[in-house]
Chains A and B, each alone.
Chain A
Amino acid sequence: MTIELRNVSRWYGNVVAVNDITMSIEPGVTGLLGPNGAGKSTIMHMMAGFLPPSRGELTVAGEPSWRHPDLYRKIGLVPERDSVYAFLTGEQFVVSTAKLHELPDPDAAADRAITLLDMADATDRKIATYSKGMRQRIKVAAALVHDPEILLLDEPFNGMDPRQRLHMMDLLDKLGSEGRTILFSSHILEEVERLSGTIQVVVAGRLAASGDFRAIRRLMTSRPHVFTVRSSDDRLLGGTLIGRPAVTAVELTRNGLQVRTSDYGAFCRDIAVLARDHGVRLREVQPTDESLESVFAYLVAN
């Protein structure tokens, strides 16, 4: 089952949140990537039927999702907001979701979903006592209880520790390989790295890149980087650095060196060796343009 967006725009008053996006989300795992405020949640809400597009056409499994509650038999939704029925235990929450879906055996369905999320130990506790990561998982369990063919997850890895994160990634990978359509949003590049498949990059409400993650990742790693370097002898270090092929520019400033490089990995290896060989003590080596905005801006420009 696919999710189709054709020239979809959404605006609030005169603020454009989503601008003329056309994309197709196919079965498998897809990451919706973009900096905060790019419009990811707006896209998610429109797909989930909780926001009508201002213009354009959006269909889920061939039908418009707006004002179409029957479609939730096929969709599982994990909202970003950490608002759950905190007064229920984990099990009560998942079982009642199963009942709301009118499943023939709500208890069995809930057990299956809870086991899938590795939450069996905590189901007797009230959700109010859960950590943020556990709340995320119980939300995913509830979203999966009716075995949906489409799963929408808005920032699912927020608040998860690395182990929970890996577990969730493996789970999404498995669900995707079973032929389900899994779409998750994230503003952290590394999160999508482990999950194979395609990504859709959204920047400032527009679709900036779309396709195979590895190709886009290559574009990202080959972009120029700027480092701030402080050392015991900036002038000496700067002089030796400019001789390296990976370094394209060196500027001596009051706060140390600004070094521009075309190869992130090679520069990191070179600078350590050069500093040691010349007896220079490194005090700070800091990439300065690692903000997501700069990464995405680079993607848009290319």
Chain B
Amino acid sequence: MSGLYNPTVAMITLRATLSRKRAFLFAIPAAILILLTVALKASRPPLRPWPSHVLGTFGFSVLIPLTALIIGTSVLGAEVDDGSVIHLLATPVRRSSVVLTKFAVATGLTVVFAAIPELIAALIAGGGTVPGQFGSGPGGPILGPVTISTGKFALGLFVGALACSVIYNAVFVMISAATTRAIAVGLLYVLVWEILMANFVSGVRLLSVSHYGLGIANGFINDSLLQAGLSALTSVILGAIVTVGALALAVRLLSGFTLKGEPA
């Protein structure tokens, strides 16, 4: 196929992903986030800082990575596991086209099951007033409390979540091409790297996908409570490098896909 996107591969991938038993798992993290937001909104006065913490820290380092993990490892990893990928690979379809199509499908599903729920939760939570931060904003230095509109808050988080969906899926598709234990490896990466290390060791943020997302979100919102460790520009550049690098590696790995023989 001359194009990078193959509609037949997309159709098979989408149907395979949604027909598997684990498809119902896709919606669980999103449901938890929305329920949590509704519960907090109902039980507390409209004060900060919980929306930034729940939607920022929890949303970006738990909800989106876990949803992307389940989806990103389904689109390729599940087929590699059960061997059905052979029917796809025994055709002249370019390996880059297989990887990019599966990545596109995974990203689309993650947007539906993580980024849009993040947007809905942000709209439910609403904006608010946050303590000021020292630094410069678009209108000069910001020192006092800042009011963030609901629209800006939701838009920022949604764009950040979109970026996270893209980058995470590139990483998980690559992991699926690299190992047959993609879910275990991916889960370990999310728990140890994204949740533990990135939130406690500041240097790790440079290599943390959730911090790229937070950085991009913060570029819109300018909310110190998001605890974004990276600027929006740095996040975009590093995110792009990780995405392109992971996908290139995935193509390379899939081109060398091997079938194990019977034990001799």
Contact = CB atoms under 8 A, between A and B. Distances in A.
Contacts of B12: 85, 88, 96
A13 to B, nearest CB: 11
A97 B264 contact: no
Interface string B220-263: 00000000000000000000000000000000000111111111
Q: Is the interface of A mostly helix, strand, loop or mixed?
A: mixed
Interface stretch (B28-36, B41-49, B90-98, B157-165): B90-98
Interface in A171-219: 204-205
A36 interface: yes
B82 to A, nearest CB: 5
Contact of B8 (A40, A70, A99): A99
Interface residues of B, number: 32
Given A69-B92, A70-B92, A99-B8, A84 B87 contact: yes
A48 interface: yes
Interface in A81-96: 81, 83-85, 87-88, 93, 96
A77 B85 CA distance: 13
Interface in B183-224: none
Interface in A36-83: 36-42, 45, 48, 50-52, 67, 69-73, 75, 77, 79, 81, 83
A72 B263 CA distance: 26
A97 B15 contact: no
Given A69-B92, A69-B95, A85-B12, A17 B261 contact: yes
16 contacts: A10-B261, A16-B264, A37-B262, A39-B261, A42-B261, A50-B86, A50-B257, A72-B90, A72-B91, A83-B83, A87-B15, A96-B11, A100-B92, A100-B93, A101-B91, A205-B264
A142 interface: yes
A81 B80 CA distance: 12
Contacts of A52: 256, 258
A290 interface: no
Contact of B92 (A18, A50, A72, A96): A72
B262 A42 contact: yes
Contacts of A73: 92
Contacts, number: 106
A273 interface: no
Nearest to A36: B262
A188 B1 CA distance: 39
Of all A-B residue pairs in the complex, the 3 with the closest CB atoms, nearest first, are A42-B261, A83-B83, A100-B91
Contact of B86 (A77, A93, A101): A77
Interface in B56-95: 82-84, 86-95
Given A67-B255, A100-B88, A83 B93 contact: no
B178 interface: no
Interface in A130-182: 139, 142-143
B9 interface: yes
A37 B92 contact: no
B16 interface: yes
B256 A39 contact: no
B136 interface: no
Given A69-B91, A97-B87, A100-B8, 15 more contacts: A39-B264, A40-B262, A42-B261, A50-B89, A50-B257, A50-B259, A67-B256, A77-B86, A79-B83, A83-B82, A83-B86, A85-B15, A93-B87, A142-B87, A205-B264
Nearest to A50: B259
